[in-house]
A and B are shown apart, each in its own frame.
Chain A
Amino acid sequence: MEKKLLHFTLNGDPKTVAVKPGRTLVQVLREDLGMTGTKRCCNSGACSSCSVLVDGQVVNACSVLACQVENKEVSTVEGVAEGGTLHPLQESFLDEGGLQCGFCTPGMIMAAQELLSRNLEPTAEDVRHQIAGNLCRCTGYVKIVNSILTAAKRMREAQS
């Protein structure tokens, strides 16, 4: 099938890529743009390892046709740390032990980032609900939930 030009913003930078119409966003990010921070794990929208933000909303990049993000803003885990300093979410994942093998971590962080962008005072239940789609085989989620709550707390403190 003919390739078509796709224009979108990736972590703030304008991108133009020629892609086949049948390609998914995760393929374009990982294969065509070499942005391998976003992981492909189940390729069926059931594990959310490939979570990225599209116009600020978290989606499964394996279940989004690349051509559907035309003119939209996509952010990935590579864009979370700014100016060489880690995001509070990343710091608290390290402090709370919110990761082990790390394969689900980029997706977790993107899902958490969406939550905190809407609600800086989440309860543990809010957090568990937000990451219900994100599978993790290592941690049992306990320390991931703690990490996100700690990040929220730190971000609140930084604001006040």
Chain B
Amino acid sequence: MKPYSVLGKPIRRVDGVEKVTGAAKYTVDVQLPGMLEGRIFRSPHPHAKILNVDVTKARALPGVKAVITAADTLKKPYGNWRRYEHLLDEYPLAWDKVRFIGDEIAAVAAVDEDVAEEALTLIDVEYELLPAVFDPVEAMKDGAPAIHEGATVDHNVSETRHIEYGDVDEAFSRCDRVREDEFTLHPVAHAAMEPHASVATTGFSGRVTIWTSTQVPYYIQILLAGALGLEEGKVRVIRPHVGGAWGGKIEMFKDQYCAARLSQMAGRPVRLEYTREEEFATTRRRTPMKYYLKTGYMKDGRLVAKEARTILDGGAYNGMGPTALYLTGFFQAFPYSIPNYRYNGYHVYTNKSPSSSMRGFGGPQAEFTCDSQLDMIAEDLGMDPAELRLKNSMTPGYEIPGYCKVASCGIQECIERSMESTGWREKRGKMPHGKGIGMGCYGFMSGGVFNWINTPYAFSGAMIRMGVDGFVDVYVGSSEIGQGSDTVMAQIAAEELGVPMDMVRVTSGDTSICPPDLGAWGSRQTLMTGNAVKMAAQDLREQLFEVARGMMMPNIVYAFEAKDGRIFLKERPKRGVDLFEVVKVAVRGQEGQQLIGRGFYTPHGKGMVSPAFSFGAQVSQVEIDLETGKVHMDQVTTAHDCGQVINELGVEGQLEGAFVMGQGYTLAENLVTEEGQVLNPSFVDYKLMRAPDVPVKFESLLVETFEPEGPFGAKEAGEGLTNPNAGCIANAIYDAVGVRIKDMPITPEKILKALEEKKAKEKA
């Protein structure tokens, strides 16, 4: 039993009360006097030259206060890839060409949404239609239409990634067996409940203040300033409560640029909120991939060599696709120890909405293919697939030279515990036809060590102030987007300072108040911002001890401790003073000294990906309707190693939410396009899982390890949890009915078709 007072317990969210009462303000709730409504004019064509944009009629419409086109922009490409300029391929508004249906051409601000919408119908654009290409393999062929004319773009390939270690060819040559498979992964939408939205206002000083729904306020400040030609200090980004993101809000979007630019031109606040249709059809998608996988192994089940090749359907612009391109290759070799590995990935432009980062950042595609193939290998060897995973899974201290070091690693215990609690050995392969059980495993980064913008370093900062009002104020640049990071930061500060949770206030996501932080992506907040908060709290605590020492005048030098709102002598706990007496003496004392702790974190020498990795094993149990192919989820058990648990309620919530998101990815969700047109841009036609669909029994086993690099030994519990879902469901389906679907999503129709083909084969 660890001596923690608030860590590792189920703690109420610090933002909970606001949210259950409807008081919480999201960007879409921000209303300013004189606020105008903005709307965006989009391309109806998948690929076309823009010959002329005529907005005179729109400008003349009564009630229209501003209309912008590319002519009102700097025509400078922007994006997160500031350190890799060849990847910057997107403009605030299209000026030469449009590259997908929905590409932004102009924007209007009017007195209300009706006028704004009418204004859109008055914009006339002349196009010269160009041949379009929608399939990445087609796009790579000679003579395919060129979507971008970059010097580094060849056959629409915008980026390639290569990973290699060990001696792959030699290793394959000495394998007992080699297995090759191909998989197809489809696009899905982030489908955050809150759409992308911004409210921007420009003061007479020229300073732009923008409230926006984002994961990365600091990036938005830099990118927006750049796109508007302002100094960064002239842009203030405020992130109110965010209604979900999952990687769909880690870039600058057109709502942010257009709201800001329109507010500059109209001299009035402008709100620009995407419709649900725009959300689905014009923002970002999880990257569709074609996956080729070759694995070499020995008769005893040892995995010896692996080769992976991917072709990513990048859509019209890079987005964060190139990172997904790298990470899917890297995590293809996780969480197993494969000494010889080679990966080649290609990111290809097509005339569709851009694909980009989405929860797991390439991981879900990697683990679905990896786990599906592992089960096929196990069958080939006549081995229990769980045993195969145990035999090959990573162990603490595992190292991929030049790539990463894995300090803490609980994967083996995760596999064992998920087997025990589900009765794996009694069930696998032994249940009646139609019922099945399957496993998927994963490992994921606790924050990327890399940064795309301006510097190569990932960094987080924190500031903690204690005032005579009796509260501890924590200022962080991390982004509370629903995942609970504000609560985690409050817990870390409370634990370190020995104060109760309700004495801690967290202020996050305001670039003019909070220290810079790369924000919420790559599961980085708990470890990176958490470390910064812990350091700031320690710094502040030392300041308090100093004052306490002056107050208590111990005759010899004792070590101090802070706990339960008191500061006392470690060896003589009875001798102590109330913590806020110390604060008062410090602040009101003759020095009038301020109590402010500083903390910061940046990983150095931690390889190319992450300073630490979470691990886990997931077992799902399904029942299949043999006549319709419909999959019913009976039960899911997940054993997750996130190091030291900070908030039990939070980790469980992430586990459950991630699984159901993955269940949708596997069984139902699919962003269907036909000739570049998204056919289901609504919650009527795009199928999210609903309450009656989710497993009735949901079990979360928290396997605690200690991660030396993490605050109190903590690691991520967010994105990684999405990685095993598809594989473990696919494997359960195979166990139930003996069909293996390699192209996602696994719909009832595909299952039924496979079942019929299987029957036919058995007859023949």
Taking the complex as a whole, does A directly touch B, i.e. does some CB pair lie under 8 Å apart?
yes
Interface residues of A (CB under 8 A from B): 30, 34-44, 46-47, 49, 76-78, 80-81, 86, 89-90, 93-97, 99-106, 109, 124-125, 127-129, 131-145
Chain A residues near B652 (CB-CB < 8 A): 97, 143
Interface size class of B (residues with CB under 8 A): 35 or more
Q: Known: A36-B29, A97-B652. Contact between A44 and B194, CB under 8 A?
A: no
Total A-B pairs in contact (CB under 8 Å)?
A: 175
6 other A-B residue contacts (CB within 8 Å) besides A41-B243, A103-B194: A39-B28, A90-B17, A100-B484, A101-B241, A104-B193, A139-B653
- A145 pairs with B691, CB closer than 8 A: yes
- B656 pairs with A137, CB closer than 8 A: no
- B683 pairs with A46, CB closer than 8 A: yes
- B25 pairs with A101, CB closer than 8 A: no
- B684 pairs with A132, CB closer than 8 A: no
- A137 pairs with B191, CB closer than 8 A: yes
Chain B residues near A140 (CB-CB < 8 A): 656-661, 689, 694, 698
**Interface of chain A: mostly helix, strand, loop or mixed:** loop
- A99 pairs with B193, CB closer than 8 A: no
Partner of B683, one of A44, A90, A125, A132: A44
B 1-33 contacts with A by CB, 8 A:
10, 12-13, 15-26, 28-29, 31
Partner of B482, one of A42, A78, A93, A101: A101
B17, B657, B659: residue with the most chain A Cβ atoms closer than 10 Å: B657
| B483 at the A interface (CB under 8 A) | yes
A22 to B, closest residue via Cβ? B114
Distance in angstroms between the alpha carbons of A141 and B661 in the assembled complex: 11
B 683-698 contacts with A by CB, 8 A:
683-684, 688-692, 694, 696, 698
Chain A residues near B243 (CB-CB < 8 A): 39, 41, 101-103
- A37 pairs with B23, CB closer than 8 A: yes
Closest 10 CB pairs of A and B: A37-B22, A101-B482, A103-B243, A102-B19, A140-B660, A77-B22, A46-B683, A36-B29, A140-B656, A103-B193
Chain A residues near B246 (CB-CB < 8 A): 137
| B275 at the A interface (CB under 8 A) | yes
Chain A residues near B192 (CB-CB < 8 A): 101, 103, 137
- B194 pairs with A101, CB closer than 8 A: yes
- B691 pairs with A141, CB closer than 8 A: yes
Distance in angstroms between the alpha carbons of A101 and B195 in the assembled complex: 12
Distance in angstroms between the alpha carbons of A42 and B698 in the assembled complex: 28
- B688 pairs with A142, CB closer than 8 A: no
- A101 pairs with B244, CB closer than 8 A: yes
Q: Known: A99-B13, A101-B243, A128-B692. Contact between A139 and B656, CB under 8 A?
A: yes
Q: Known: A34-B31, A43-B276, A137-B192. Contact between A106 and B22, CB under 8 A?
A: yes
Partner of A47, one of B28, B483, B683: B683
- B683 pairs with A86, CB closer than 8 A: no
B256-269 vs A, Cβ < 8 Å mask (1 yes, 0 no) = 00000000000000
- A105 pairs with B684, CB closer than 8 A: no
**Interface of chain B: mostly helix, strand, loop or mixed:** loop
- A135 pairs with B193, CB closer than 8 A: yes
- A94 pairs with B484, CB closer than 8 A: no
- B20 pairs with A86, CB closer than 8 A: yes
Partner of A129, one of B17, B29, B484, B692: B692
Distance in angstroms between the alpha carbons of A49 and B193 in the assembled complex: 8
- B483 pairs with A100, CB closer than 8 A: yes
- A94 pairs with B17, CB closer than 8 A: yes
B 179-224 contacts with A by CB, 8 A:
191-195
- A86 pairs with B659, CB closer than 8 A: no
- B26 pairs with A103, CB closer than 8 A: yes
**Could you pull out 25 A-B pairs where Cβ atoms are within 8 angstroms?**
A35-B22, A37-B21, A42-B276, A42-B684, A44-B682, A78-B23, A90-B20, A96-B649, A97-B10, A102-B16, A102-B19, A102-B482, A103-B193, A105-B19, A105-B20, A109-B20, A137-B193, A137-B657, A138-B244, A140-B698, A141-B660, A141-B691, A142-B660, A142-B694, A143-B649
Distance in angstroms between the alpha carbons of A159 and B465 in the assembled complex: 45
Chain A residues near B21 (CB-CB < 8 A): 37, 77-78, 80-81, 86, 90
- B691 pairs with A134, CB closer than 8 A: yes
A47, A104, A109: residue with the most chain B Cβ atoms closer than 10 Å: A47
B654-696 vs A, Cβ < 8 Å mask (1 yes, 0 no) = 0011111100000000000000000000111000111110101
Distance in angstroms between the alpha carbons of A18 and B222 in the assembled complex: 43
Q: Known: A42-B276, A102-B19. Contact between A138 and B653, CB under 8 A?
A: yes
Distance in angstroms between the alpha carbons of A141 and B653 in the assembled complex: 9
Distance in angstroms between the alpha carbons of A139 and B652 in the assembled complex: 9
Chain B residues near A49 (CB-CB < 8 A): 193
Distance in angstroms between the alpha carbons of A55 and B192 in the assembled complex: 30
A80 to B, closest residue via Cβ? B21
B648 to A, closest residue via Cβ? A97
Distance in angstroms between the alpha carbons of A127 and B692 in the assembled complex: 9
B13, B21, B244: residue with the most chain A Cβ atoms closer than 10 Å: B21
Distance in angstroms between the alpha carbons of A101 and B306 in the assembled complex: 39
Chain A residues near B682 (CB-CB < 8 A): 42, 44, 46
